[in-house]
Amino acid sequence: MGQTFEGILSSLLDGYEKSESKDIDALLKEKSEELELTEKSIALVKDASEYIDKFAEKTASLEAARDEGISMKRWLTEDLDNSMAELSDEEKVEIYEGIAKKNEDFINKIAGEE
């Protein structure tokens, strides 16, 4: 049908806002038939939906932490620790080193642009 990803997502969000049941899976099934989406497109939309839900959860968590007087840095550190609870110390070190490297690259890029 030649739909763009943005168009598909917009249609789903519109349908979700208008839906009384707020059942994203039922809505996705209905819209996928209506828009004649491929399995690959459906999978991409589901991934985007999950990402949006996670983002909303994290935003709400950060706002609640701020309301309790918890700094963003502390919240982020605790959130990272919680999300990596199942990892070994070596895996955690690898992730933190990767984050530090990306931060350093970003700072160097910004400094180079000034």
Whether 5 and 44 have beta carbons less than 8 Å apart is answered as: yes
- Enter the pTM of the model: 0.56
Question: Which tokens belong to 47?
Answer: 């991934």
The 10s digit of each residue's pLDDT in 14-46 is: 777 777 766 777 777 777 788 787 888 788 878
Q: For 51-77, what is each residue's pLDDT tens digit?
A: 888 888 999 999 999 999 999 999 998
